[in-house]
Structure 1
């Protein structure tokens, strides 16, 4: 068999990139397999190999974000030093920074992610594509909403929505953009607008006839209802999410169990809360998730133990979450702990965790790229 020209493989990789951008998982899976096979018979070309490695890592990130498939730790294959001395074109150079920023965000290394996005934004100026720009705006907005920098996030996500709304084949990206906008409004306590954009995302998910993506949107809106002190609406939304078998088999299932446990405890339904807490322990043994294990333990200790018996363990778990970079989770849980302690007239402890919530929110607002 003769050697395949690098241009032929690069053409397949371009198709793969479009499939990933559109989140066409079936097409992406086939194109990835085709590309991988073609590389074995390709004339040597480092640039095409780098392009493949970038897209393979991006493909895995897509599966994690959109199908709840686990992402192996330290799975970022392409290192900057590998690009030195190669004649890398503008697009691949840009992708390197954009995709590594997304991976660093997943790793909760937010300062590094912001720094990479700033470099990517400069390189985006050399690429004439509104869809490439929209993807950059959406990923950047997603990072900033995670660290509660809503003004910055809203600026980027509005730009993304303006572009995606003009492209019918990017409805999923439009829905994801609506989720980011809804999350920003939730952080700003504008629950009416947050619900409006959450429902817009659910509507698109239904149109796409993707049960898993629809389940994800019900999970997303459950967080809004929890924040807005509507526990029953929160539980109802989660019930809709967990009806999806694919959702129950994903890494996101534990998120749903956690939400049910905390909302059941909040309304005083201890019996059902404990039922789901035990269900969560089984899930954690099957699919390890130290972040959610700590969160589940905090909720259990908060509602099932006396303050003097549990506060040191709660402090340890909050500290663990902060060390792991889950600043949003620390802020959210610290407020919940503070309110629960205040109810029990444990005012000193309530103030401690209220201050922790304020401290962590300030920490998020001060994050800048390294």
Structure 2
């Protein structure tokens, strides 16, 4: 068997790294298949194997972000004992990203801080843009919109100056749009989504367009425009690849919630049947609980039974640590029971929503997690003077 040099494999790994950070799914998959064969014939080299493992982790995260492929098990990584700055940076970046994916935000922040220090030794604008995008995304999830906007603007400036990073630019536009939505500037948020959709059309990327339409639906829901929200969600669900991804559940939940909010129960029942068929193949306990909650809230007639089953569904979300989801549904139930004139049940759900919000606030300000509200990343990372996505 012919032995392949570590240098040859390393060069191909660099090609893979570029494809991954461009979110070029087709090329990244092709190189991944090739590399698995090359590694079997490569001479012994631990540094190259470590580099491959780190890139494999980023590759899996990229497939989740760009194609909705679920992350089942993390890539097992050991701290690289003898390596270079880039590998050390990727080690901490990957662990930070996976911690963020698992909603372990305290660990993610600490790991991002270490990754930032490693990044100072890497003179690569695109790596800086990617890092600032991930930090902006974390602050966005923590609803620190103005800080997130600061970081994402820097990423946008960099991506704009480099060809081949249009998908990353579109993702950055989504983060900017989400932040503007959170501070109530719906017009600017819509403008950023329009820019991102223009990119998806230029690239003829239907999956990206579906992701964008899902995010736009959230904007319209926040603005109280149910018809526009439903139209955007139906566009998102029109792509077959999107339907087979884990993002299907997010969009379907949004669609059912909006249909039921305007009393379109017949159409909602049609979609409930589709959800049931999907769940027989791939069951997600969080979204199963959310779908069951919607069905019980709007189709169970007995008030006492309706309230009890809804509380049971919310309890499942709490057990699964989806605190924000539980709070959202408690608030929705409170409004619904108030409209029915069931003031006692409305009060119980409203109290639950308040307690969940209070718990979330306490959790974010707990001593060992004070970084959520007080920590700021430094600006020693490479910055540009360029002129002036995730998908939630």
Tell me the distance in 1 between the aligned counterparts of 2:155 and 2:363.
23
Pick from 315, 333, 340 the counterpart of residue 337 of structure 1: 333
For 1:219, the equivalent position in structure 2 comes to 214
Q: Deviations over 1:182-241 (max 9, x none)?
A: 111222222222212122111111111111111111111111111221111111001111
**Cα displacement string for residues 330-359 of structure 1 (whole angstroms, at most 9, x for unaligned residues):** 343333233223323424235314414532
1:348 aligns with 2:352: no
2: distance between equivalents of 1:307 and 1:134? 52
| 1:39 aligned onto 2:33 | no
The answer to which structure, 1 or 2, has the higher relative contact order (CA under 8 A, 6+ apart) is 2
Alignment equivalent of 2:266, drawn from 258, 271, 296: 271
For the structure 1 residues 15 and 118, does the alpha-carbon distance in structure 2 shift closer, same or farther, using more than 3 Å as the test? same
Query: Measured at CA, do residues 218 and 48 of structure 1 come closer, stay the same or move farther in structure 2, by a change above 3 Å?
Result: same
Q: Does 1:280 align with 2:264?
A: no
Distance of 1:313 and 1:195 partners within structure 2 = 37
- The equivalent of 1:135 in structure 2 is 130
User: Which SS does the other structure have where 1:168 is aligned?
Assistant: coil
Instruction: Return the alpha-carbon distance in structure 2 between the equivalents of residues 303 and 351 of structure 1.
Output: 18
CA distance in 2 between partners of 1:48 and 1:115 (Å): 26
- Secondary structure, in 3 states, of the residue corresponding to 1:265? helix
Classify 1:304/1:79 alpha carbon distance in 2 versus 1 (closer, same or farther; 3 Å).
Answer: farther
Quote the Cα distance in structure 2 between the aligned partners of 1:196 and 1:334: 32
The within-5 A match list for 1:64-79 is 64-72=64-72, 74-79=73-78
Count of equivalent residues: 365
Q: How does 1:224-263 map to 2 (within 5 A)?
A: 224-263=219-258
Give the Cα separation in 1 of the matches to 2:158 and 2:137.
16
Which residue of 2 is the match for residue 4 of structure 1? 4
Give matches, 1:11-50, under 5 Å.
Answer: 11-50=11-50
Runs of 4+ in 1 over 6 A off after TM superposition: none
**Structure 2 equivalent of residue 314 of structure 1:** 310
CA shift digits 1:226-283 (9 cap, x unpaired): 1221111111001111211111122211222211211111001112112212221221
Q: CA deviation at 1:304?
A: 2.3
Q: CA deviation at 1:365?
A: 4.8
Q: Return the alpha-carbon distance in structure 1 between the equivalents of residues 356 and 144 of structure 2.
A: 15
Question: Structure 2 matches for 1:133-172, cutoff 5 A?
Answer: 133-172=128-167
Structure 2 vs 1, CA of residues 364 and 207 (structure 1 numbering), >3 Å: closer, same or farther? Answer: farther
Q: Which moved more, 1:37-46 or 1:329-338?
A: 329-338
- The answer to whether the Cα contact below 8 Å between 1:254 and 1:283 also exists between their aligned partners in 2 is no
User: What is the TM-score when the length of structure 2 is the normalising length?
Assistant: 0.87
Match in the other structure for 2:387: none
Cα drift, residue 164 of structure 1: 1.0
Structure 1: stretches of 5+ with no match in the other structure: none
**RMSD (CA atoms):** 2.0
Residue aligning to 2:375: none
| CA distance, structure 1, for counterparts of residue 363 and residue 219 of structure 2 | 20
Take 1:295 and 1:330, find their aligned partners in 2: how far apart are those partners? 9
Matched, 1:200 2:195: yes
Which residue of 103, 109, 114 maps to 1:108?
103
Q: Secondary structure at the match of 2:165?
A: helix
